[in-house]
Amino acid sequence: MNEKITKGHRVIFHVDMNSFYASVEMAYDPLLKGKPVAIAGNVEERKGIIVTCSYEARAFGVKTTMPLWEARQKCPQLIVRKPNFDRYRKSSQAMFDLLREYTDQVEPVSIDEGYMDVTDYAGPLTPLQIAEEIQLRLQKELLLPCSIGIAPNKFLAKMASDMKKPMGITILRKREIEKILWPMNVGEMHGVGAKTAEKLKTISITTIGELAKGNDYQLKHLLGINGERLKKRANGVDTRPVDPDSVSEFKSIGNSTTLPKDSEDERLLEKTIEKLSSSVSARMKRKSVLSHNIQLMIRYGIHHTVTRSRKLPNPIEGESAIKAAAMFLLRKHWDGEPVRLLGVTAQELVEKDDSVKQLDLFTFQEDAKKEPLHKTLQDLEDKFGKGIIKRGIKNKNTADAGSKAKITTSFQKDFLE
């Protein structure tokens, strides 16, 4: 690569597809091109929620997570489609295959975005020319628009890709951080959510620049180790490599247990799955990962084992969601014979910080309903300490019976341990 351009530094791209779901629908149906298009669940009902929308729809004030009835008020000519996840996955695969034509250092972080390390690219193109060619090819070959950020590390590349949409290419150099990034609201910084931004306000930090100059002790006291990490990012420091194996390395987190005796009691099987789901969920939360696939193993005898899995449209980590997927598999695939062993495994894991939840009507509305509860619990934990509140009510007859039996047997190796 041109030494004058790289100057010994890494060259990282963040490729972010623009209005991905809506763009895929336009690619599939060219008649939608240039029109206000939205993807939403329960299209026929007023309570539907906008998952994503085209830039033509955004011009009318339509936004992600907006109720469908409100979106139609703002844009009466809005064209609404239901999510087609199989179609989106195929387009995503084609997109990443194209990126890998330039380098094998490609790290997908969600269905519609990923990082590239083109530092060692040996072709005749400069980094800017590579980005321009990728953007042009994605538009021409897949009919999909994208924005690309170019920077010396992943954090800055991610920030750069957000600066010009749609169809933008932005170069962000470290020497430009003070001028470009520091004046921005801290809530606009990648890795800083609404709750973290509110916490930072309590110590008079409202801009990225103020975070970059923040007091180390205050930040650690307020945010723990994450405070130190965010300050480094605000100063443009991010040593994380682009890791093409990160997705495949996060293989699974699973637990299994052998029943006291072979049983065909569905209530006992459900209770067992509930315990396994709780264990798996707790381990996932400790590792800060989400799962796109839940697997259930049913063993009837020494030599008869059935393993089935369910692909999920959105990543999950909660006990109830894991149990629901596992119970679906049990009811569908259990043949009614006595069961000796059950196992629940979360597969296709992704890091929570890098995962973008692909909303549909059902998951969004459930999240929205629970948000006030989550906020109350978070506020209490912030004030009195983590674990001060436990969900559920313990039966007075079992209060002294001891905690749940600890399940430690894993039927699949959890590399994270």
* Cβ(50)–Cβ(38) below 8 Å: yes
Q: Which of 113, 274, 317, 348 is catalytic?
A: 113
**Distances from the Cα of 375 to the Cα of 66, 133, 327, 370, angstroms:** 20, 45, 29, 9
CB-count burial class (<10 Å; 0-12, 13-18, 19+) for 175: exposed
- 17 token code pair: 């597809």
Residues in contact with 2: Cβ distance below 8 Å, sequence separation at least 6, in sequence order: 126
Query: Is residue 112 annotated as involved in ligand binding?
Result: yes
Give residue 65's Cα distance to chain centre: 16
Query: Is residue 335 annotated as involved in ligand binding?
Result: no
Could you give the angle at the alpha carbon of 281 between the alpha carbons of 280 and 283, nearest 5°? 65
Q: Specify whether 44 is catalytic.
A: no
- SS percent in the chain: helix, strand, coil, step 5: 40, 20, 35
Q: Which residues are annotated as a binding site?
A: 16, 112
Q: Which residues are annotated as a binding site for Mg(2+)?
A: 16, 112
* Residues taking part in catalysis: 113
